[in-house]
Structure 1
């Protein structure tokens, strides 16, 4: 005994007519109990797009009321949309199931919808869409189920490490879906589920067991021809062309001067009557043989066949499929199936019109006449049940947004659907400032922008908060950050000015600043790409140099005239000792703000101190080991003359002395120099043989030696 599971109501809102269907769902089958079809009273839909919402809603209302007389109140309906401006995207989701119990049907549904959401994110971030484009998901098909990376027929009750679902999802422009929803709302109906017309048809005509074959399904309506491709056990592509039966009707209307509805009626009679009788718009009656009418429409049928064939090949990687199934009212157009076989280079028996008798698991009430036009309406109800897309309505900044409903939808999902990007959730950072400081490029970042405040139904929320149908989201967008700005002193590590006391005198020493080659202050504001040279006087030595430039009375007195390499150098008489808190400091001491420094000045400077100041080498020295004895070897590099007289290095220079340094030699210290600093002498016996060694290796008398060398003379 069959058990009734549910009663379903579906609508196929087409370009030429609207079909309402009520069917009963049983455990493993469906039974069509009622079906009503009504044509639009005017051309309120063109190429699958609603142009007159009021007119379409009126037809829907009529069908709803007639069905309600026999089946009670109808409030929820499943609908399908034509594939006008169709976009497709693939998505996948992988989850860890190693710690989970057996996978249920509900788990798989959630996985499929998560994969669809990933496909939507892929589409929204693709280059295909402009910033103001809005697309809604209208259906999907599963490409593959995978367990631990391997394809599997079903995930139900499976155990493993990870489960994967891959889908192909279809998306339509917002205007197509919104107009459909508006018409339903005016007819006092709520959309329970949404699907795409070719998805609806393929679900009932091509079951999974048949999808290993390369088959194209074409749903030819009045305004659009929707296409689905099956191959390798899955649905591989969806597409559409905006031409269908109306192209043929318009040809008849133009050729015979007929009103459009009359031309449509005439088209339907071609296959059933030998002679067609009609009145044109001028009132003249005409009788035309059906064969002549077929010749008139043949070019339009050929154009339609060419458009459909080209799209089939494009979706099928440039090749023709093994077979083509055509459904929908437009499939009955005379010679269309034959023209399709010609264009696709297929035998005529590989392109076939399919009707309700091809459906498995579906039975009809005896009062319903089977027709290819009814395949899609029945498929809508079944497809919406098997792979439903449920939508919720959310308002984002007074903009109505509809997004398909997963188990737990969040504010972030709504923002994604409203095309609010992550960047918009924060104000833009200010422009950075790039400056070349002492040869190195330094970047000063601009201020960070403030974050956007999100209000969910008037309360502050985050992107992770859950949302429900009819929720209202308001965004108070964050402010952009200020552009970076900086003075010279902001770029210097450490203080740009140092304040200290030297021998009781308050001293302030600023860093030396060159901005683009010009002297500048530490308070000068810099601009982008400026070049800065900053010399900081933060060591004692550098600060004292600055003090000389401001004529500090304690340290600017006598000087020494020194001659070196033919040039005169003035050497200031500098203090040799500096004290902070009684502790002696060196020139490398880092001065701290507030330091109190005292100086202790000697009366004389030694030659060595002057040489060190000018970085003059007075003598070269090498400490070596000679035959196990330490020896210090010295070699004069520079001679010193005081007031024209050769002087010893220990001489104490007076302020009035004239000091001259003369380079004597830059020859290296060699092995033979050792004998000037030891008592060793070579034997006079010419018969004695010997070897000179440096660090165990042979060496000659005139080869250089260095500090740390081990020198030996071995006799043989």
Structure 2
């Protein structure tokens, strides 16, 4: 059964509506509609004229309803212009009693969110009221007695604490969005944030350990999100974007703003466009000339974006992804790369073809300005912001959170402390560790329990609109709980050096033949096995999955035959001695991996003793010219590759010989022929004899073009 999703991207310049179908296989774009605002009813991503924006929304809705029937619910994203990111901390006295379940940890996290909210209010000089929605938070670290630790469950010490990073959105941003939707007779089905929408579809959680910046360059704002250490670490915005470039074009060529916007889009698409200024003069401008004329504006935009990235990240990220219509600004990727001191190939424009689980519709443009609308539809479904009213001890709470709301969220929002009570210990568990059976005692009783709509629940239980919460005494303890760390104890790790850094190689744990972490909780009848990695390949796998993938042989398939490219294979050294991946390591060993070059087509042919290029030398107007053409046709699926096209492991290539000869007109690809001062007719000669452009040529031929009056 396919589920239809209607989403709106309400931007500074236009409103884009997208209709997707969702099934088990993923998402498919069914239809879209984009309509520009009649006037500048939005500024820097914020709604300034609710009525005007509602009219544009209504036009988009009515256009889509012609083909898809009545639309009443919509997924939207709030602009990121007013996002405020703040760190928060909270502490809990343990008195050497371990934390036995996640409910206490949940309370600690939510207390840290409350601390962050108070800091925001103090920073904005707002007293006794918090006109902000918390749209999401991430735990940065847990601590026991000021020592960083992976999990607080079953840890002993005097004081437990946590540090979080939370993001807040002013209520006015959401309220104006709701007002515009209401005027267009639409109900908000789900909400996300613009930077989160694009981040969710372009950078999955498994990749967020990489330090990457995602920049959505729209018309009025450039929204920035930073990933690091497995989470979205920070959000930011600069009020400089595509309109800055449009205004520069308007000033340079004396164009009205709407005409400058149309001209900008045309020249990016066609590399040349005509413009008629306010005096009536028409001029044809090339892409190259435009880039030269507005370099200062492009540089200003790049500078503002990179300044915000440095502010949020403190250093250059490993890579930068650009989306949004403004990402097509000429030379913007190169300028950002230069200012961040990154290689040019580390800053790239991403379009909707990069969205996984999305079936592309051939009628839908793939350019980067469609990433956010599609991201809104997908992200709002995956991780929606819920907007609900909940009753807590007769108090009405209005909550608007990025993640699924829980009973614990309601307590923190209301500023209520929950007293914990413990019941009788739970039943024991029997487990097997490396073939030996062990009995574990049951855990203590749970903290104070809660009643949700008359049913006993916990603080991490999701709540919905209209729910009623009351506090009741906690339940008895559940079955025994213990972490792998507590069960196995401290195992002396092995220390090695890799990439000039010291690394600790810890044991590898398996529970029921599945990989596990030391802070995983053991269940009754679990079978536990663990061992200490000692071989190079196992150590590299633990240190870096990327490096582990790179140490594999570089194999491709050519015309159905497997070929290993030696130039792409890594070399391994332990204490400056070359070894193979199965080499045993010892404490203090220094590991060095020299990565092979990522091979290209020419490297492949060179290994086979072949030259990608076929060349001849001729003379043109007395000047010696070398002509080149590929000697082979190399294809990867339906894509024809060039000599410098990079190859990846597992590529399946088809290579055939190309025997095309050279013709006269090939020479014009290698010479600059100045026709600006030429007049009259011309005659083409080969070896002093009249010739035609399509005639074949041979090495040593003398070619000439002679002009006559």
What TM-score does the superposition give when structure 2 sets the normalisation length? Answer: 0.51
Partner of 2:15: 18
* Alpha-carbon distance between aligned partners in 2 of 1:136 and 1:200, rounded to the nearest angstrom: 20
CA displacement 1:55-89 (0-9 Å, x = unmatched): 11111111112223333332222211222132113
Partner of 2:384: 388
Write out aligned runs for 1:29-40 (5 A): 29-40=26-37
* Alpha-carbon distance between aligned partners in 1 of 2:295 and 2:225, rounded to the nearest angstrom: 25
1:379 aligns with 2:375: yes
Partner of 2:74: 77
Where structure 1 has 5 or more consecutive residues not aligned to the other structure, the ranges are 417-466, 472-716
Deviation at 1:164, TM superposition (A): 10
* Alpha-carbon distance between aligned partners in 1 of 2:129 and 2:295, rounded to the nearest angstrom: 38
Partner of 1:327: 323
Deviation at 1:414, TM superposition (A): 7.4
Flag the 1:394–1:160 CA change in 2: closer, same or farther, 3 A: closer
* Alpha-carbon distance between aligned partners in 2 of 1:214 and 1:266, rounded to the nearest angstrom: 36
Q: Contact (CA 8 Å) 1:138, 1:196: kept in 2 or not?
A: no
CA displacement 1:518-537 (0-9 Å, x = unmatched): xxxxxxxxxxxxxxxxxxxx
Deviation at 1:345, TM superposition (A): 0.9
Give the match's secondary structure for 1:330. Answer: helix
Give the match's secondary structure for 1:345. Answer: coil
1:179 aligns with 2:176: yes
Q: Contact (CA 8 Å) 1:25, 1:31: kept in 2 or not?
A: yes
Give the match's secondary structure for 2:122. Answer: coil
1:315 aligns with 2:322: no
For residue 58 of structure 1, the aligned residue among 38, 48, 55 is: 55
Give the match's secondary structure for 1:403. Answer: strand
Flag the 1:369–1:173 CA change in 2: closer, same or farther, 3 A: same
Deviation at 1:231, TM superposition (A): 1.4
For residue 264 of structure 2, the aligned residue among 248, 264, 267 is: 267
Partner of 1:356: 352
Q: Contact (CA 8 Å) 2:138, 2:165: kept in 1 or not?
A: yes
* Alpha-carbon distance between aligned partners in 2 of 1:379 and 1:392, rounded to the nearest angstrom: 23
Give the match's secondary structure for 2:33. Answer: strand
* Alpha-carbon distance between aligned partners in 1 of 2:325 and 2:104, rounded to the nearest angstrom: 35
Q: Contact (CA 8 Å) 1:213, 1:322: kept in 2 or not?
A: yes
Give the match's secondary structure for 1:270. Answer: helix
Q: Contact (CA 8 Å) 1:220, 1:327: kept in 2 or not?
A: yes
Give the match's secondary structure for 1:130. Answer: coil
1:370 aligns with 2:366: yes
* Alpha-carbon distance between aligned partners in 1 of 2:185 and 2:113, rounded to the nearest angstrom: 29
Give the match's secondary structure for 1:271. Answer: helix
Q: Contact (CA 8 Å) 1:270, 1:294: kept in 2 or not?
A: no
Flag the 1:52–1:132 CA change in 2: closer, same or farther, 3 A: farther
CA displacement 1:263-307 (0-9 Å, x = unmatched): 111111222334321222333323233322222221011001001
Bigger mean CA deviation after superposition, 260-269 or 24-33: 24-33
Partner of 1:345: 341
* Alpha-carbon distance between aligned partners in 1 of 2:134 and 2:377, rounded to the nearest angstrom: 14
* Alpha-carbon distance between aligned partners in 2 of 1:254 and 1:199, rounded to the nearest angstrom: 34
Deviation at 1:189, TM superposition (A): 1.4
* Alpha-carbon distance between aligned partners in 1 of 2:318 and 2:255, rounded to the nearest angstrom: 39
Q: Contact (CA 8 Å) 1:136, 1:174: kept in 2 or not?
A: yes
For residue 123 of structure 2, the aligned residue among 119, 122, 127 is: 127
* Alpha-carbon distance between aligned partners in 1 of 2:281 and 2:104, rounded to the nearest angstrom: 63
* Alpha-carbon distance between aligned partners in 2 of 1:108 and 1:284, rounded to the nearest angstrom: 72
Give the match's secondary structure for 1:83. Answer: coil
Deviation at 1:187, TM superposition (A): 0.7
1:49 aligns with 2:38: no
CA displacement 1:339-378 (0-9 Å, x = unmatched): 1011111111110000111111222333212111111112
For residue 255 of structure 1, the aligned residue among 243, 252, 273 is: 252
Q: Which protein is bigger by CA-based radius of gyration?
A: 1
Q: Contact (CA 8 Å) 2:107, 2:408: kept in 1 or not?
A: no
CA displacement 1:385-411 (0-9 Å, x = unmatched): 33322124799xxxx996316345999
Q: Contact (CA 8 Å) 1:93, 1:111: kept in 2 or not?
A: no
Q: Contact (CA 8 Å) 2:112, 2:162: kept in 1 or not?
A: no
1:305 aligns with 2:282: no
Deviation at 1:141, TM superposition (A): 5.3
* Alpha-carbon distance between aligned partners in 1 of 2:194 and 2:105, rounded to the nearest angstrom: 21
Q: Contact (CA 8 Å) 2:16, 2:35: kept in 1 or not?
A: yes
* Alpha-carbon distance between aligned partners in 2 of 1:250 and 1:29, rounded to the nearest angstrom: 40
For residue 200 of structure 1, the aligned residue among 172, 197, 201 is: 197
Q: Contact (CA 8 Å) 1:21, 1:34: kept in 2 or not?
A: yes
Flag the 1:366–1:130 CA change in 2: closer, same or farther, 3 A: same
* Alpha-carbon distance between aligned partners in 2 of 1:116 and 1:9, rounded to the nearest angstrom: 36
Partner of 2:400: 404
Partner of 1:575: none
Flag the 1:407–1:261 CA change in 2: closer, same or farther, 3 A: same
Write out aligned runs for 1:193-592 (5 A): 193-317=190-314, 319-392=315-388, 403-404=399-400, 406-408=405-407
CA displacement 1:479-524 (0-9 Å, x = unmatched): xxxxxxxxxxxxxxxxxxxxxxxxxxxxxxxxxxxxxxxxxxxxxx
Flag the 1:164–1:264 CA change in 2: closer, same or farther, 3 A: farther
Deviation at 1:175, TM superposition (A): 2.9
* Alpha-carbon distance between aligned partners in 2 of 1:61 and 1:67, rounded to the nearest angstrom: 10
Partner of 1:435: none
* Alpha-carbon distance between aligned partners in 2 of 1:394 and 1:57, rounded to the nearest angstrom: 29
Q: Contact (CA 8 Å) 1:218, 1:226: kept in 2 or not?
A: yes
* Alpha-carbon distance between aligned partners in 2 of 1:186 and 1:167, rounded to the nearest angstrom: 38
Deviation at 1:250, TM superposition (A): 0.8
Flag the 1:89–1:36 CA change in 2: closer, same or farther, 3 A: same
CA displacement 1:621-642 (0-9 Å, x = unmatched): xxxxxxxxxxxxxxxxxxxxxx
For residue 114 of structure 2, the aligned residue among 93, 113, 118 is: 118
Give the match's secondary structure for 2:70. Answer: coil
For residue 68 of structure 1, the aligned residue among 41, 65, 68 is: 65
Q: Contact (CA 8 Å) 1:88, 1:170: kept in 2 or not?
A: yes
Deviation at 1:99, TM superposition (A): 7.5
CA displacement 1:19-43 (0-9 Å, x = unmatched): 1122233346222222222211211
* Alpha-carbon distance between aligned partners in 2 of 1:111 and 1:385, rounded to the nearest angstrom: 27
Partner of 1:136: 132
Flag the 1:97–1:36 CA change in 2: closer, same or farther, 3 A: farther
Q: Contact (CA 8 Å) 2:90, 2:115: kept in 1 or not?
A: no
Q: Contact (CA 8 Å) 2:91, 2:108: kept in 1 or not?
A: no
* Alpha-carbon distance between aligned partners in 2 of 1:201 and 1:70, rounded to the nearest angstrom: 27
